[in-house]
Amino acid sequence: MYCFNCSTHLERKGSTRCTECSTWLHKECSIQGLCDVCLINAGERDTVKVEIPEIIRRSYIETYKKCPHKFLKQVLEDNPMPANIYTQLGIDLHEEFEKACNDRAYSIEEMRRKFEEYWDTYGDELFVEYATREKMYARGHESIVGFYNVLETLPIKPFATEETLRLNIGEGLPNIQITMDRIDMDENVELHIHDWKTGKVIVGKKISSDLQPPLYIKLVGDHYGKNVKSFNLWYVNEGKSRHYYQSEKDPNVYVCTVGKRPYYTNTTDAIREVQHLFSQIVKGNFNIPRDTKNLYYECKMCHIKELGLCSGAEEQSWKNVWGGKV
């Protein structure tokens, strides 16, 4: 059984029912005895009125999944995350990777020199204790080497690079937007998506729950009208990868095998999940997730808290439920 408001597992002990429609809820998720939908219909929801954008980037969908309150403050109320060395390094290297994909004469030595030019422009404000200049400088050069190792295995001419795609998933809902790094087409006229990563490789449940693979597969397939055979994540700084291959039994299912363990993702299920998330956004549901313990590291690194726009998951969730200012 699952809570109607937050969609997480629900035990009978510590649960309640909406007094209007009788749906099951966590007691913490119930406001004035009502579920979110009935509260909206009653016109009693005390939320900040915001304009819902026509387009929501895929990365922001993940933000909403982790913490709707952060999504509200960062995306809808326009409090962007400050620049940091992780994001800046990724942006600059992606630009170089695109150049090399479209011009195979662009050598690793040239890219190294360009990276040195970028590096000289990085101010001290980009770096933090756990991301020192020495560490990130090494990561930059390791990423370049890793990228060229992968590039040598790919076709000389890509089918497409760095293209932004959008998909409408329902009336009254925002469009999904993605920007893909590279697509190749094989001899069977099937597509293979490649995405460059300069961070840590995903592990465990994240391999199945991450929305990037199924959403990219869905948007690319629909846009080009061709079957997507694989989706590939290349963690070039670590020399690791994750590969999702289309199932022979169900074209909507893709399998990523790590060791001997298979992880599954489904494009149809992913679209349904996003439809649900977007409907919650449209309804104005920006509650703190019930299981605040899982937000410890998210809160620790959150710029919204540093800006004074959130009191941390446990305290802010209490404020939101009992009518405190958000």
- In 3D, which of 24, 9, 74 has the Cα closest to residue 291? 9
Q: What is the mean pLDDT of residues 78-97?
A: 95
Considering the entire predicted model, what is its pTM?
A: 0.82
Task: Please report, for the chain, the start and end positions of each structural domain, with discontinuous segments joined by +.
Answer: 1-45, 85-151, 160-271
| Rounded average pLDDT over 111-119 | 98
Q: What is the predicted pLDDT for the residue at 173?
A: 96
Provide the pLDDT confidence category of residue 108 given band limits of 50, 70 and 90: very high
Say whether pLDDT at 137 is over 70: yes
pLDDT of residue 218: 98
Residue from 80, 75, 82 nearest 286 by CA: 75
The residue type found at 68 is P
- For residue 305, is pLDDT > 50? yes
Closest CA to 48 of 243, 308, 287: 287
Q: What is the pLDDT of residue 296?
A: 72
Q: What is the per-residue pLDDT across 193-236, written as a single tens digit (0 to 9) for each?
A: 999 999 999 999 999 999 999 999 999 999 999 999 999 999 99
CATH architecture, range 160-271? Alpha-Beta Complex (3.90)
Average pLDDT, integer, range 240-263: 97
326 has pLDDT over 80: no
pLDDT grade for 322, boundaries at 50, 70 and 90 = very low
